[in-house]
Amino acid sequence: MTEAIKIETGQGYWAPLIFVVALLGVLILAVLIWSRGRREYKRGTEQELPFLSGEKVENPRVGALHLYWGLAEALRPLLERLRGWHSGNINEYAGWFLVILAVVVLLVLA
Amino acid sequence: MIGNLPFVVCVILVALGLWTLVAKRNLIKLVIGIGLIESGVNLFLVSLGYVHGGIPPIYTYAPSGAPMVLPTPQALTLTSIVIGVATTALMLAFAVVIYRHKGTLDARKIRDLRG
Amino acid sequence: MSAHAPILAIAVPLLGGFATPLLAKLHKRIRDLWVLLIVLFVGVAVGYVAVHVFTQGIWVYVLGARHPQETVVSGGFPIRIMLVVDAMGAFMGVITALMALVAFPAALKYLPEEEGKTLALTLGSLLLAGIMGMAYTGDLFNFFVFLEVTSIAACALIGFRTWTSRAPEAAFKTMLLFSVSGLLFLLAVAFLYGEYGALNLAYVSVLLRGSAVDRLALALFLGALLMKAAAAPVHFWAPDAYGEAPAVKALLLVVNTQVSLYGLWRVLFTLYGGILDTTVGWLVVAMGLLTMVVAAFMALAQTDLGRLVAYGAVSQIGYMLLGVGVGLVTMSGRPDYGLVAMKGGIFHMLNDALTVGLLFLCVAAVELVKGTRDLRELGGLGHGLPEVALFFLVASLALAGIPPLNGFASKILIYEGSFRASPILAAVAVLTSILLLAVFARAFQGAFLGPRVNVEVRVPWPILVSMGVLAVGILILGLVPGFFVEAMVTPAAKALWLGRSLYLSAVLGG
């Protein structure tokens, strides 16, 4: 039975059911703390509106590209280069295949 | 020396085909490049099975003791040719459809899918 | 019947696929029932083979002979075509059958009749036959033939929507690259045939001496199969193909990629297992790292939900390459951690099929409902499609390797195994997983959260059932991974890592 619930990883083991029990414990604790919180939240008032730098925005919507915007912005030079690499030109794709083939031939024959 | 000539031709064909894939921009020419590689590989297979002075490998008609060429590579080549026809036809069909949509066969201009 | 299960698992979808258009002439319902029967039959046959192989060892099935012994004539020369199913092949078959059982019922409701549903089902059935053939065959030339069958069927499916301009473009590029890789694979087979006069994988493996021709053939095998398995930097076709194929059929494309990986393992471990040095292993590891990192960054840059999921799928291939690559590197010393990494890499194939399959089904549902996949236009679908949102969330977390889902169970094996080989490998793998979490959190937010939008179209129930099956599979594999690892993954990993001599003696006797 013990084999069925855990997997050996060489240096230890991973037992998801124990993890789930621990996770439930933490969740219960979180709910307890949350239930002792302040009860001023009112539905249907302007408390429901998202806080966007204190400004009122018509029809606020946080799209996919707004999330992790900073990360994507910081990585922009890298991402642009990678996008340029995926150029869509079939000649380049075939060229990369030849490059890999050459590398493999050199590695294997050496 | 003359016995190795087919293999030299194979290398030239495969190399030409690979060069075509990298250097040519017309989609039809790219398909022709695939055809060149395929011819090279098929020629290689058939030359592998050749036995000098061999006769066709048909047991019923063969004089006893005569050397025969190997039948297996011929079977492989036939299969490979059939597969080649299918792939070439499919690629040409896609080239036709692409031309209808874009009005061009230039690989540099067919780059909607990138990034 | 049951004695012929391996060949029937290939022959029934092949012949049944060609019969599908004929039956469609009779009635559409008969065709649907027929396709379901084919898939069910494959499922039963594969299950039977798997149980047999996992309990009794390698199954050698010979075409045209009653017993395997009749194959090997005097001098140990095998003369007939044979199927050889060891634990790894059986495992691959199980993955294939599972995905087919999920994909086909969903496809019956997803594909519109006027868009050539009959032909799409035929192609799907042929693709299934090709994949099963690649998984079960013990013959190099047959492997090439099935490789080309999958190439043709897969590319026809990718370019299926000829009325759009993007699908034929993706199909042409994919087909060109698949053709080159297939032909170079055939060239490698021809090299080996020229040197040893045989096509039987086990027989050639015994004879291999490691001459220059053998090594050149190895290089061609590697190049061809790495391309078909979408390892960076020859992965360019994969996001195009996954993104543009009808999303339900993308499940089969994912399995096609995995079976190419399986072919790579078969060539490296079984065919060349006797002469391989660690250089090739490090090459596989390096390409695995490159694949996961590049694909994860590219996923961050996507605005199309289908293409984002496609890049996520490609990055998972990097994990499999890393896991099994570490096994390759350590094959000479055979330390424990090598086997752990192997198990992780192989377990990840199953987990990846489930999670990526579920993600593609979610993409299909979103596309069906909204008619677009652009993340800049989508939003708020979680109100109208709570089930789909939940499924997408589960699959995203599993793909990013969040415990206690199945992705984590296989990734922790890969992390720990590769950490012992080199800590840098594990660090890159963990960081990529974190990046993937960010990417999929973005996608989830963009598609499903936000103000309510109206949803007029309902998702057909077969698609929801398929999604539910995959989600339950993700949960079960995540919560009790030990059972599956012990029953299927460990035998599969051992079959590759330690089982070469068993494989050879099962085929050639002695």
| Listed residue (C317, C178, C316, C304) closest to C244, CA to CA | C304
Q: Considering only CB atoms, which chain C residues are within 8 Å of B115?
A: 298, 301-302
Cβ distance of B94 and C187 shorter than 8 Å = no
Contact C326, C421 (CB under 8 A): yes
What distance lies between CA C294 and its chain's CA centroid? 20
Q: Considering only CB atoms, which chain A residues are within 8 Å of B107?
A: 89-91
The rounded distance, in Å, linking the Cα atoms of C468 and A77 is: 40
For residue A105, pLDDT beyond 70: yes
Q: Which of A78, A91, A93 to mutate to test the interface with B (most CBs of B within 10 A)?
A: A91
Domains in chain B, number: 1
Q: Closest residue of A to B30, CA-based?
A: A91
What distance lies between CA C227 and its chain's CA centroid? 14
User: Nearest-5° angle of CA B35, CA A104, CA C298?
Assistant: 85
Q: How many CB pairs under 8 A join A and C?
A: 161
Of B37, B79, B95, the CB nearest to C172: B95
With an 8 Å Cβ cutoff, is A78 touching chain B? no
Q: Considering only CB atoms, which chain A residues are within 8 Å of B18?
A: 94, 98
Quick check: is B21 in a domain?
yes
Contact C23, C30 (CB under 8 A): yes
The CA–CA distances, whole Å, from C385 to C120, C357, C369 equal 27, 18, 9
CB neighbourhood size of C255 (10 A): 29
Q: Any idea what the CATH number is for the domain that residue B20 is in?
A: 1.10.287.3510
Query: Is the peptide bond between B73 and the residue preceding it cis, with omega within 30 degrees of 0?
Result: no
What distance lies between CA C18 and its chain's CA centroid? 23
Chain mean pLDDT for chain B: 90
CB neighbourhood size of C239 (10 A): 29
Quick check: is B112 in a domain?
no
Q: C85 phi and psi, to 5 degrees? A: -110, 110
Quick check: is B109 in a domain?
no
Radius of gyration over every alpha carbon of chain C, rounded to an integer in angstroms? 22
**At C476, is the secondary structure helix, strand, or coil?**
helix
Chains touching chain C through at least 3 C-beta pairs below 8 angstroms are A, B
**At B24, is the secondary structure helix, strand, or coil?**
coil
pLDDT of residue C458: 86
The rounded distance, in Å, linking the Cα atoms of C230 and C225 is: 9
Give ipTM to 2 decimals: 0.95
Quick check: is B75 in a domain?
yes
Cβ distance of A83 and B23 shorter than 8 Å = no
What distance lies between CA C98 and its chain's CA centroid? 11
With an 8 Å Cβ cutoff, is C433 touching chain B? no
Q: Which of C137, C174, C176 to mutate to test the interface with B (most CBs of B within 10 A)?
A: C176
Q: Where are the domains of chain C?
A: 277-479
Q: Chain B window 64-103: which residues touch C at a Cβ cutoff of 8 Å? A: 70, 72-73, 76, 79-80, 83, 86-87, 90-91, 94-95, 97-98, 101-102
Chain A closest-CA separation from residue B2 CA (Å)? 28
The CA–CA distances, whole Å, from C40 to C35, C46, C82, C350 equal 9, 10, 24, 19
Q: Mean pLDDT by 10-residue block, N- to C-terminus, for chain C (510 residues)?
A: 90 95 93 95 96 93 80 74 93 95 91 88 95 95 95 93 92 95 95 90 90 93 95 92 88 94 94 88 95 94 92 95 93 87 94 95 91 87 91 95 91 92 94 94 90 84 93 94 91 91 84
Q: Considering only CB atoms, which chain B residues are within 8 Å of C186?
A: 41, 45, 80
Cβ distance of C480 and A4 shorter than 8 Å = yes
pLDDT, one tens digit per residue, over A16-47 is 899 999 999 999 999 999 988 877 777 777 77
| Listed residue (C119, C228, C21) closest to B93, CA to CA | C119
**At C20, is the secondary structure helix, strand, or coil?**
helix
Cβ distance of C451 and A61 shorter than 8 Å = yes
Q: Closest residue of A to B108, CA-based?
A: A89
pLDDT, one tens digit per residue, over B44-98 is 999 988 888 888 888 777 777 778 888 889 999 999 999 999 999 999 999 999 9
Q: Which domain does B23 fall in, by range?
A: 2-102
The rounded distance, in Å, linking the Cα atoms of A32 and C470 is: 34
Q: Which of B21, B24, B97 to mutate to test the interface with C (most CBs of C within 10 A)?
A: B97
Q: Considering only CB atoms, which chain B residues are within 8 Å of A100?
A: none
Give chain B's end-to-end CA distance (angstroms, integer). Answer: 50
User: Nearest-5° angle of CA C209, CA C213, CA C214?
Assistant: 45
Contact C493, C330 (CB under 8 A): no
| Listed residue (C267, C312, C266, C272) closest to C293, CA to CA | C312
Q: Closest residue of C to A94, CA-based?
A: C177
Cβ distance of C300 and A104 shorter than 8 Å = no
Query: Is the peptide bond between A77 and the residue preceding it cis, with omega within 30 degrees of 0?
Result: no
> CB under 8 Å to C494, separation ≥6 — which residues?
C87, C339
pLDDT of residue A45: 76
- Tell me the residue length of chain B: 115
- DSSP secondary structure letters along chain A: -HHHH-EE-SSSEE-HHHHHHHHHHHHHHHHHHHHTS-----TTSGGGS--BTTB--SS----GGGTTHHHHHHTHHHHHHHHHHS---HHHHHHHHHHHHHHHHHHHH-
Q: Considering only CB atoms, which chain C residues are within 8 Å of B83?
A: 145, 148, 152, 182
Q: Considering only CB atoms, which chain B residues are within 8 Å of C301?
A: 115
Quick check: is B51 in a domain?
yes
Q: Which of C178, C183, C185 to mutate to test the interface with B (most CBs of B within 10 A)?
A: C183
